[in-house]
Chains A and B, each alone.
Chain A
Amino acid sequence: MARGLLAKKIGMTQLFVDDRAVGATVIQATPCTVVQVKTKEKDGYDALQLGYDEVKESKVSRPIAGHFKKAGVAPHRHLFEVRTERIGEHKVGDRIGVEFFAEGDKVDVSGTSRGLGFQGVMKRWDFSGGPKSHGSKFHRRGGSIGCHVQPGWVVKGRKMPGHTGSERVTVRGLKVLKVDAERNLLIVRGSTPGARGSLLELGKRHG
């Protein structure tokens, strides 16, 4: 089967699993549609091209709309590819949804982390900062960024303040607590990147 799906983060909650309260993330994975099956003979590699989130035709560009039309599939907001050898199991128009995952599976979840704007060195890089009191005037600063004549410049990669978050983050090995095929919901233990309503990529881990 294919290895990945796109989905939407609904939010976090707390559920009781084996009498214990556990933080859990609810993910809505409305089924993705197979738009194109790529084969080694024709395209040089085996893959499935999938579409996520159906939209009306005016929401996609004309060349993309043509691509969907050729496949005989409704236009989708997102198109992505999944490399897999088992392309024989799928044909154009097939839908792949939450039933791809089973309870107890481990999943990798990728997404764009929440943007935090311009942040100092304490929040951005977990620097410890200085004392808050006892006459200290060194509170949340980063301290020295290098030496003097030798080497004479600031070393590349020096951790400094700047734009934080809004970057691609992958959380690996989250356990699937529940699969709700009726409502297209996937409940995983722990947190996933991104704000509520943001786009997530789900991948199944093997072994």
Chain B
Amino acid sequence: MDDILRAVEQGHLKERDAFRPGDIIRVHERISEGAKERVQVFEGLVLKRSGGGTKEMITVRKISSGIGVEKTYPLHSPKIEKIELVKERGARQSRPYYLRDLRKIR
């Protein structure tokens, strides 16, 4: 039964470049404001990847004008145009939350 579910989800998965928690990535998200559509780029550090299949979510953190900002995206959402790997940095933890407490993450 799980095989069937996986096969169904397969058709909804997007091709995403490989990256892991601790890496620095750039997320290109399509945002529609009324009739207009634009692409917002969010560059930051991957804090976690959670879930699997179509339900996989990623949390990205960056420092925006001195304030830490975290955004969580569904990895396979059609609204996400692409994800670029900026810097392979990696972490020993799968959830490197300690990076929040470090002043300089780049």
Contacts and interface: CB of A to CB of B under 8 A. Distances in A.
A13 B1 contact: no
Nearest to A18: B78
Contacts of B7: 183
Nearest to A15: B12
Interface string B1-30: 110110111001000000000000000000
User: In terms of DSSP, what is the predominant structure of the interface of chain B?
Assistant: helix
Contacts of B79: 19
Contacts of B5: 10-11, 13, 26
Nearest to A197: B1
Interface string B28-72: 000000000000000000000000011100000000000000000
Interface in A181-197: 183, 185, 187, 196-197
A14 interface: yes
A28 B2 CA distance: 12
Given A16-B77, A16-B78, A26 B4 contact: yes
B90 interface: no
A21 interface: yes
Contacts of B2: 11
Contacts of A16: 12, 54, 74, 76-78
Contact of B8 (A21, A185, A196, A197): A185
A146 to B, nearest CB: 47
Given A15-B54, A16-B54, A10 B1 contact: yes
Interface in A167-191: 180, 183, 185, 187
Interface of A: 10-11, 13-16, 19, 21, 26, 28, 180, 183, 185, 187, 196-197
